[in-house]
Amino acid sequence: MSERYNNNLEHLQGALLTLNLALHRQVLRRRAANHAETAVDEPTIIALADHEVDALLDGLYAANAAPDADRLDRAPLATLTALLEDARLRHIEREEAARRSGVTLLLATLAERLKLAEFEQQVVLLALAAELDRRYERLFGYLNDDLNRPRPSVDLAFQLFTRDLAGRTARRRAFAPDAALRAQHIIQLSDESGTLPACGLKLDARIVGFVLGIERIDAALNGILESYRGDFQTALLAAAPAEVAALAKHVRQRLASLVALDGPDQALQIAVAAHIAADTPLLVLNRIPEPADDLIVRAVREARLSGAALAIKAATSDQARRFSELALEQPRFILSATPLNLPAIRLHLPALAKDGRQALWSAALDDTQLDLAELADRFRLNGEQIIAAAHDAQIQAAWCGTPIDRATIFASCRAQSQQALDGLAQPLRSIHTWDDLVLPTAAKAQLRSLEHWVHYRHMVYQEWGFAQRVMLGRGLAVLFSGPSGTGKTMAAGILARNLELDLFRIDLSTVVSKYIGETEKNLSRIFDAAERANAILFFDEADALFGKRSEVKDAHDRYANIEVSYLLQRMEAYDGIAILASNFRQNLDQAFVRRLHVIVEFPLPSAADRDRIWRQFLPKSVPQSDTVDIAYLARQFALSGGNIRNCALTAAFGAAAETSPITMRHLVQAVARELEKTNQPLVRSVFGPYYDLVRAGGEKDDA
């Protein structure tokens, strides 16, 4: 049995010994060619003296455990060629013996996993030498005829590892952009003169680290490529479609398969990919910043080096297509939100159902007393969001030194939900309760009944089986109709606060576009994000979006009607709560009205209601004169709740500026300003005894 290498270091020394012999032979060839031009031991501008080169070779031989270095120094060219051939054969025999014994040889593993031909392996070894010992730099400078070029060159590789012009011509292909050395970013060429032979060779840092056994990921992939640990995989797979098992069996029989997984839940996609890959480790490329092509190539190389399957979260179809073009012996997975038209095995993974979400919550929140059924029903988070929310809640609870309670986990869930609508809508926060909202009893009862839809949604649709009878329209579409300032926005905020859901007001300026098709795209993004965010959508001044369709007279009318028709379809398919607020109910398209579950009328407040609103804004705690007559204000001025709020604030700031309590003068003057905003005349019959205070403007009174 042949002597074998016992470890990676011995194998590396054996490979470098063959390189040293090849370099030594090239030194002798150069001396023979230049003997007539350069005197022995006399240095030139561009080279070293012979004795300096001999000293370099002696040191390199000694570093790589060469036997009888003195004899090698004195060997003639023919003898050195024979010694080189013997060293190569012995190196191959020891390498094969080590492999049979199960010894890991990383240089050989690199060649095997990256599919490198013999010449390509020699080029890698040549470039590696410069990374291991600086003495090689001086030797390369000598052989390049220029000490300012310490890197090995393509020309030097040709001289060392080819025999004639035919060999050089054939080996040029190894340096093509699409060949293994450059396509996989193994070698970088430094183009100094515009010709290939003059280019210097630099070995990629990740390749150097791999050969030396340094377990370090490619620096370009830091923070975006990670190993899948399998956290919560069992709970996620329990929610996967039944066909996953058959797909896994099929892919395992064809390891190089490309599998495209699409759907709204990438945590589920990754869990399925890891299940299909079975015992093969899985790497996940989480995002692909530009330049995308370079990072995809490096990720595939990393998968080859580690023998892992690879999944990429494709941001664009071009990135997915580029990934599909690259070969990998292990399974490859493309993860996307929407189906991609690629030559791949495709599988759609739907969003987690309530039972799947509840199982994942149970796995993520070990030994919890929380009502997980309510949590799963209230927040329709995907797998990634559930895991992140659970982790965040655990951190918050640990910081406070208390168990995770309902408020903590709900806050974490809302934080995950809000991210989906960032930039598409404005979040609204409410500090009010139902007691603050002044409405007729019947209208307020309608509003309170909306809470029942959320609380008992699962019972009605799942336990009672209505989900089998209602395919569309499982969401809740509500119209708040009434004049401006009657409490429509306040009611939406109170409803969201009581349901512990986020409320987002749609900014029409970011939605409506003059360009054909853009409005529909914007609305699609909003509805999709709202479903993921479990948010209440609030369309203020909804008649601007949900207006009546008109008779088609030109292209503009046709596309305007298309927008309305799209909204009809999207509203019907929406699974959450959508609130439409309009001052002009009659302007809404009747098709929308038919699809509304509840219509709540917000009338202008009566005198009694106005009295309550005034007293809410001017409670006993507010400094005010004894002459303030709230009953008179409520009886005399038919203002909305929003108008009354404005008047109370205007009067308060006016009094504060005078460092005095609020007086009747401040209030009636504030009312006058509010009426003037709507072009209403200021007449004595309305203001009665306070008319002169209004006309006096800013004059103070003693009341």
The Cα–Cα gap between 94 and 111 comes to 17
Q: Is 513 helix (H, G, I), strand (E, B) or coil?
A: coil
- Predicted confidence (pLDDT) at residue 564 exceeds the cutoff of 80: no
Q: In this structure, are residues 553 and 537 in contact, taking their beta carbons and an 8 Å threshold?
A: no
Given this model, what pLDDT does residue 420 score? 67
- Predicted confidence (pLDDT) at residue 381 exceeds the cutoff of 80: yes
Using left for φ > 0, alpha for ψ between -120 and 50, and beta otherwise, residue 474 falls in alpha
What is the mean pLDDT of the segment spanning 94-107? 93
- Predicted confidence (pLDDT) at residue 655 exceeds the cutoff of 90: yes
What is the mean pLDDT of the segment spanning 392-403? 89
Given this model, what pLDDT does residue 411 score? 86
Residue 684: which pLDDT band, with cuts at 50, 70 and 90?
confident
Q: What sign results for the dihedral spanned by CA atoms 312, 213, 156, 118? A: negative
Residue 379: which pLDDT band, with cuts at 50, 70 and 90?
confident
Pairing of strands 258-262, 332-336: parallel
Q: Nearest to residue 338, comparing CAs of 317, 309, 312?
A: 317
- Predicted confidence (pLDDT) at residue 96 exceeds the cutoff of 90: yes
What is the mean pLDDT of the segment spanning 41-53? 65
Let me know if 82 is exposed, middle or buried by CB neighbors in 10 A (0-12, 13-18, 19+): exposed
- Predicted confidence (pLDDT) at residue 516 exceeds the cutoff of 70: no
Ranges 108-122, 453-467, 510-524, 625-639: which has the least confidence: 510-524
Pick the residue with more confidence: 84 or 702? 84
Q: Is 457 helix (H, G, I), strand (E, B) or coil?
A: helix
Given this model, what pLDDT does residue 630 score? 92
Q: In this structure, are residues 589 and 548 in contact, taking their beta carbons and an 8 Å threshold?
A: yes
Place of tokens 């050089």: 168
Given this model, what pLDDT does residue 7 score? 94
Structural domains of the chain ordered from first start:
8-211 (no CATH), 219-348 (3.40.50.300), 354-408 (no CATH), 434-601 (3.40.50.300), 607-695 (1.10.8.60)
Cα dist from 40 to 33, 75, 142, 144, 528, whole Å: 13, 17, 14, 18, 80
Cα dist from 287 to 206, 290, 335, 345, 381, whole Å: 20, 10, 11, 22, 21
Pick the residue with more confidence: 301 or 375? 301
Given this model, what pLDDT does residue 545 score? 63
* % of the chain residues with pLDDT over 70: 87
Residue 146: which pLDDT band, with cuts at 50, 70 and 90?
confident
Q: Write the pLDDT tens digit of every residue in 26-45.
A: 988 888 877 645 454 554 44
Given this model, what pLDDT does residue 590 score? 72
Q: In this structure, are residues 627 and 664 in contact, taking their beta carbons and an 8 Å threshold?
A: yes
Characterize 249-263 residue by residue with b for buried, 16 or more Cβ atoms within 10 angstroms of its Cβ, and e for exposed: eebeeeeebbbbbbb
Place of tokens 């299909």: 276
- Predicted confidence (pLDDT) at residue 701 exceeds the cutoff of 60: no
Let me know if 283 is exposed, middle or buried by CB neighbors in 10 A (0-12, 13-18, 19+): buried
Given this model, what pLDDT does residue 46 score? 52
Ranges 138-152, 245-259, 278-292: which has the least confidence: 245-259
Residue 541: which pLDDT band, with cuts at 50, 70 and 90?
confident
Given this model, what pLDDT does residue 556 score? 47
Ranges 55-59, 235-239, 488-492, 697-701: which has the least confidence: 697-701
Ranges 119-133, 256-270, 533-547: which has the least confidence: 533-547
Place of tokens 């205007």: 650
What is the mean pLDDT of the segment spanning 583-609? 81
- Predicted confidence (pLDDT) at residue 697 exceeds the cutoff of 70: no
Pick the residue with more confidence: 370 or 468? 370
Given this model, what pLDDT does residue 508 score? 66
Instruction: Tell me the residue type at 431.
Output: I
The Cα–Cα gap between 259 and 342 comes to 10
Q: Nearest to residue 7, comparing CAs of 98, 87, 96?
A: 98
Q: Is 188 helix (H, G, I), strand (E, B) or coil?
A: strand
- Predicted confidence (pLDDT) at residue 629 exceeds the cutoff of 80: yes
What is the mean pLDDT of the segment spanning 697-701? 50
The Cα–Cα gap between 428 and 410 comes to 17
What is the mean pLDDT of the segment spanning 282-309? 91
Question: How many Å is the Cα radius of gyration of the chain?
Answer: 39
- Predicted confidence (pLDDT) at residue 550 exceeds the cutoff of 50: no
Average pLDDT value over all residues in the chain: 84
The Cα–Cα gap between 260 and 262 comes to 6
| Residue ranges of E strands in 409-519 | 425-428, 476-481, 503-506
- Predicted confidence (pLDDT) at residue 263 exceeds the cutoff of 80: yes
Residue 558: which pLDDT band, with cuts at 50, 70 and 90?
very low
- Predicted confidence (pLDDT) at residue 397 exceeds the cutoff of 50: yes
Rounded to 10 degrees, the C-alpha dihedral 542/545/547/549 comes to -160
Pick the residue with more confidence: 69 or 245? 245
Residue 678: which pLDDT band, with cuts at 50, 70 and 90?
confident
